[in-house]
Structure 1
């Protein structure tokens, strides 16, 4: 674990051998444009640009003769240059561990007869949800979900060791800066300055600053590669600067109250975690302010909860002070410590460890609010004719209503979600069908040999009919004129394979065949014991199926294993639920680009080959219980559906219909994309879409396929300003386009994806 492969990293540092330090910055690849200029200095670079509302900004960077970088000043013009920070040193730390594949992933593969060998690990290991590479707890100390974490005995015949983890697997290191030729490159409205080389534990790369013409935003990041296999990591980033008598940091706490720290306490070299609402705080020096925050979604791997565990840090070491962003070492104490997955770093990929800075002449509090414009203040922007929906909240609505004995409870989950601007919240109760595998499977006895199936055990689940009745009663009590709680169900032990979500158009009573119930119900009750039974009920009652978290968790190996099954080809099996984080790689330019989007395109090829309707995607949360103050916005995507009004009468058929409409798009919230058009142009097709965004846009693209192969046409969008909109048109060859999919992505890996459409060819 402790060796570092520089052969992969040298090309990222510079081309060829690392040169002697060159003080002045190379501007060969920089062409000045109106509102963006740069000049080399004796020891670095001096950049000026136009930001929000024509505000003039200036960034002066230097490197001393040992290769140590510094922000000499980050300033704003106000009749003269006013420094937001000066003499600030960039600081990065990384903590690394070993990625393991979980039992939760292994079990569905074993059910399929897949050998749990090195080939299986190489395919699925990166996409773990139940992994905690920094957790050194002893066996038997877990509080819940004992069957989900990685196998305690390891996996024989593979390179995955057992548990507990060895302390030698975990390493923390501070970035060490090494000499590298400074180079500035302009790409549209963006100027990137590669200032100095970086070595940090098992990573090597470079330090980059990027400014964006048209916004005050500055990106400070390390771009680095590793040659190690199965590396998982977290990072912190920030600035350290000389003490200033007027220095303070402002933020809102998780209760929404403003807080201020003036660095007046006893000096302490250790970082103080800061639980700032909206992941945003601002440093002020009495003259100007500087908001600091992470990427709003990519910073977060998937969790069972969204409790804010402190994503900022402050430091008061006497002569210096510091501030920045961080990730905690472990999950909140209310949850199982075995679930804290970190980022993945596939060998050779460029990991991006980013911190955003936003300078302003406003006060610290006002600067925090100005920075929150990038996320619409952590809310989802209303669009005329659309409603905002999200699915798969594990709130156990029915069970919680049963536990209180009343349907008139006011769930904190609903209070928190309603405040984000979501109109329709699909909450799932966990139900089961029949016998299921034992929760703690044994590992394969030998490489390449599948273990025999464990003896089935009964699922310990509550009375299904009672749960369904309670969920519908509680949902009606939680709903409002423009806000609906939609009670749905996730089926474990699904006869379709993997996990199955059932989204109902109205209340439907059903139970697993052979079970009993104490619920007093009237009307039809379905007895469901097989895939045909489940399919028949859904068709009779206008329900649809969706597979949550495909290719990971309890759906590992799916839907690939059922791609040609009649029930999967049926349009009633709508598609899959998508969210990032169950295998979050720090190199991703599109959230979930290794698992989610390749699957969506694979399904489109499967369907056109089979002559079946294309599969749809729906956003999912995966979070269980929520409360005001949780970082809900950062933890989830949403789906915009074409719908005039929110159902208020328990009839969700219009929502079911809207989800099948082409005017549906998945989004993180910062990028909105809609109005997809396909226009024949001779041997080509012109694909059009309307896009709006907040963070500077990076690129838009069209994916398309011929039933066998997926192709991509990408168009850079770096010439457009932040907080803007545009109608894009992309021309692709018609011969290979039996289906198309449009998406748009910004510089923080936030994006929007329109549902794939057939072209009629």
Structure 2
């Protein structure tokens, strides 16, 4: 009898689809006992999910061919439903170019001028041949096939996050062809007027708006703050924005390249009025590598939508919470440090350019909550290889400016990317001002007292470079390892004495290259981190920005990461900053994009950088206190035994947006010599710890 009732119920659900020649949805992986529900409608199906604050989100999908896919987005509270938007389509433009794989760096390439090579832009086409709704932790996922664009194909994926009116819309595309690089534009498009007014935040953070008129509103690209465009309808608003970091492929400059658009006939390729996100094909007009798209990888061309019953752009405040207003949250016992900036501020002074009392890069980083800025000055300017007459005054200028601009909760630290003697590119930092020259001629002393600058070093080879680091307690590490000017490094010098030294701290992490198929960022250096640990080296990885000019109106946050150093108090410049180096060389920090925070982490009570004496049974209790904004995706416990790398992946899709939790993971670490932890969220933001060493 139960089976008969089940069959009748299923037949009644499918009957409307059969009568209207619609695509019947597959629900075999949908939890019918969960908080979300699926109902049949005249034109397709209605998916409802708990949207937080006693609201119910409702998305009606039209499965009929030739009709807008999203029949309506609604929010319901206390039985009253408001329609946020109706009869709109997701839109994707996929631009496909060529990747140069002939160079040693391979897919890790940065110096690729993809934008200057032949490329083609395709409108992604949707044929409604298959619809599936499934449950995946605290989210409901709708898959619609098939998508095609040139030689790419795939499916549309709509993710509804329980506990929030947050939606992710993704064109998941792959190709069989090799050596492809891609960009994408995306958004929502309507043939009839849906939005009466468009809102955005200008680059100074002030809300702006314009009324819509589809007869005259040609599409417009906008420079904005918070990467968000908002469409307001009669009954509410919807904000469209990208993943805050994954959306940005690596560039030298964090220019604001007008990453959102609104209006009619976008790029002369889209019929109708739309709002969305975009990439500038030419980037910063330097090296423009775009995104990697290796064959048979599922590239997620995606964007987020946030629904609200509010008007006048108030939903912007909800969107800003996902990046904490593009700021790094203060944590007790920590100070934030950002590294590797080629601002060439000193060159501006040397060339007598107008310099404000507080330069733009200082304003920008202080506003973001950066406490420590570590420079990489004189990279493309100044005279770093000068034997002394120009070099020493330039160092003196850098020290003076760093001291002048260090105040209250901000410390500017002198630093360079010397790229001499060791091989490849590398960064340095000393705990106080150090005058040194990058060469030494026969007969010149290694160190001497200068009448104006005091102790001055002359360094002629790698042995003397290490000696300088040892005598002045400095640190060095590989910049942009295994790519750019460090292609092949640190592998090429991993057996050198300077690399074995505790003065060589490890390497630096950045999201480079970019690949939209990965659930995390910066795999290039995460893999190196594991390799170095398996080499038997106790090395650490700090986050690096590797950016040039910065101004407050640039898109800095999306291109940044930050290090949370365990410091109770920020050192004063005049007292030296040895505590900063102590935290770095002892692994007392974690790296994050900003959205995921890891205030505490331990393995059997030992924190990152510490040594654990493992019991004979090999059992380990890994504890981490995590804070997040976007719903979490997964945690990964990474360990090694000197030869292999082991990964234990923990699904965290049962989490909702904006949470704090003390996680405990039990693991057998028998035979392992190190272990570390990563956590990543649904927008591919994340954080990772430094290793705990096991003996």
TM-score computed with the length of structure 2 as normaliser: 0.89
Equivalent residues in 2 for 1:448-459 (5 A)?
none
Identify if the C-alpha distance between structure 1 residues 184 and 534 changes in structure 2 by more than 3 Å, giving closer, same or farther: same
Question: Is the CA contact (8 Å cut-off) linking 2:49 and 2:140 kept in structure 1?
Answer: no
Is 1:597 the counterpart of 2:535? The answer is no
Question: Is the CA contact (8 Å cut-off) linking 1:551 and 1:557 kept in structure 2?
Answer: yes
Distance 1:502 1:232 in 2: 33
Number of paired residues?
Answer: 651
Identify if the C-alpha distance between structure 1 residues 461 and 196 changes in structure 2 by more than 3 Å, giving closer, same or farther: farther
User: Out of 424, 431, 442, which is 1:505 matched to?
Assistant: 431
Cross-structure match for 1:623: 547
Offset at residue 353 of structure 1 (A)? 0.5
Residue by residue, what CA displacement relative to the aligned partner does 1:8-47 show, whole Å, maximum 9, x if unpaired?
Answer: xxxxxxxxxxxxx961211111114553222344543311
User: Out of 622, 633, 649, which is 2:557 matched to?
Assistant: 633
* Of 43-52 and 273-282, the range deviating more from structure 2: 43-52
3-state SS, counterpart of residue 25 of structure 2: coil
Equivalent residues in 2 for 1:517-556 (5 A)?
521-556=452-487
Residue by residue, what CA displacement relative to the aligned partner does 1:82-113 show, whole Å, maximum 9, x if unpaired?
Answer: 11110001111111110125xxxxxxxxxxxx
Is 1:412 the counterpart of 2:360? The answer is yes
Identify if the C-alpha distance between structure 1 residues 536 and 319 changes in structure 2 by more than 3 Å, giving closer, same or farther: closer
Residue by residue, what CA displacement relative to the aligned partner does 1:401-448 show, whole Å, maximum 9, x if unpaired?
Answer: 33349998421111111100010011111369xx99xxxxxxxxxxxx
User: Out of 497, 501, 509, which is 1:566 matched to?
Assistant: 497
Is 1:728 the counterpart of 2:677? The answer is no
3-state SS, counterpart of residue 490 of structure 1: coil
Identify if the C-alpha distance between structure 1 residues 464 and 207 changes in structure 2 by more than 3 Å, giving closer, same or farther: same
Identify if the C-alpha distance between structure 1 residues 520 and 71 changes in structure 2 by more than 3 Å, giving closer, same or farther: farther
Identify if the C-alpha distance between structure 1 residues 293 and 459 changes in structure 2 by more than 3 Å, giving closer, same or farther: farther
Offset at residue 266 of structure 1 (A)? 4.9
Residue by residue, what CA displacement relative to the aligned partner does 1:281-326 show, whole Å, maximum 9, x if unpaired?
Answer: 2110131000100010010011111111111111235994211111
Is 1:482 the counterpart of 2:430? The answer is no
Cross-structure match for 2:161: 212
CA RMSD of aligned residues (A): 2.5
Offset at residue 459 of structure 1 (A)? 8.2
Distance 1:189 1:390 in 2: 34
Cross-structure match for 1:678: 603
Identify if the C-alpha distance between structure 1 residues 408 and 329 changes in structure 2 by more than 3 Å, giving closer, same or farther: closer
Is 1:583 the counterpart of 2:532? The answer is no
* Of 227-236 and 357-366, the range deviating more from structure 2: 357-366
3-state SS, counterpart of residue 278 of structure 1: coil
* Of 40-49 and 201-210, the range deviating more from structure 2: 40-49
Cross-structure match for 1:112: none
Offset at residue 69 of structure 1 (A)? 5.4
Is 1:201 the counterpart of 2:128? The answer is no
User: Out of 130, 133, 139, which is 2:114 matched to?
Assistant: 133
Cross-structure match for 2:105: 124
3-state SS, counterpart of residue 130 of structure 2: coil
Equivalent residues in 2 for 1:273-672 (5 A)?
273-316=221-264, 320-332=272-284, 337-404=285-352, 409-430=357-378, 463-492=390-419, 494-514=420-440, 521-580=452-511, 582-593=512-523, 595-607=524-536, 612=537, 614-650=538-574, 651-672=576-597
* Of 670-679 and 36-45, the range deviating more from structure 2: 36-45
Identify if the C-alpha distance between structure 1 residues 686 and 408 changes in structure 2 by more than 3 Å, giving closer, same or farther: same
Can you give the 5+ residue segments of structure 2 that lack an aligned partner in the other structure? Answer: 1-20, 605-613
Question: Is the CA contact (8 Å cut-off) linking 1:199 and 1:205 kept in structure 2?
Answer: yes
Cross-structure match for 1:91: 91
Cross-structure match for 1:231: 180
Question: Is the CA contact (8 Å cut-off) linking 2:195 and 2:231 kept in structure 1?
Answer: no
* Of 416-425 and 42-51, the range deviating more from structure 2: 42-51
Distance 1:129 1:462 in 2: 35
Cross-structure match for 1:141: none
Offset at residue 746 of structure 1 (A)? 0.3
Offset at residue 399 of structure 1 (A)? 2.9
Question: Is the CA contact (8 Å cut-off) linking 1:678 and 1:759 kept in structure 2?
Answer: no
Offset at residue 364 of structure 1 (A)? 4.2
Question: Is the CA contact (8 Å cut-off) linking 1:272 and 1:314 kept in structure 2?
Answer: yes
Question: Is the CA contact (8 Å cut-off) linking 2:628 and 2:660 kept in structure 1?
Answer: yes
Identify if the C-alpha distance between structure 1 residues 372 and 462 changes in structure 2 by more than 3 Å, giving closer, same or farther: farther
Question: Is the CA contact (8 Å cut-off) linking 1:263 and 1:316 kept in structure 2?
Answer: no
Distance 1:26 1:564 in 2: 57
Is 1:710 the counterpart of 2:636? The answer is no
Question: Is the CA contact (8 Å cut-off) linking 1:248 and 1:261 kept in structure 2?
Answer: yes
3-state SS, counterpart of residue 466 of structure 1: helix
Distance 2:40 2:636 in 1: 35
Distance 1:87 1:733 in 2: 53
* Of 619-628 and 46-55, the range deviating more from structure 2: 46-55
Offset at residue 262 of structure 1 (A)? 1.4
3-state SS, counterpart of residue 567 of structure 1: helix
Offset at residue 496 of structure 1 (A)? 1.1
Distance 2:330 2:585 in 1: 21
Offset at residue 178 of structure 1 (A)? 2.3
Question: Is the CA contact (8 Å cut-off) linking 1:563 and 1:569 kept in structure 2?
Answer: yes
Residue by residue, what CA displacement relative to the aligned partner does 1:368-415 show, whole Å, maximum 9, x if unpaired?
Answer: 111110000100011011001110011124333333499984211111
* Of 534-543 and 38-47, the range deviating more from structure 2: 38-47
Distance 2:64 2:451 in 1: 78
Can you give the 5+ residue segments of structure 1 that lack an aligned partner in the other structure? Answer: 1-20, 102-117, 136-164, 437-457
Question: Is the CA contact (8 Å cut-off) linking 1:663 and 1:674 kept in structure 2?
Answer: no
Offset at residue 695 of structure 1 (A)? 0.3
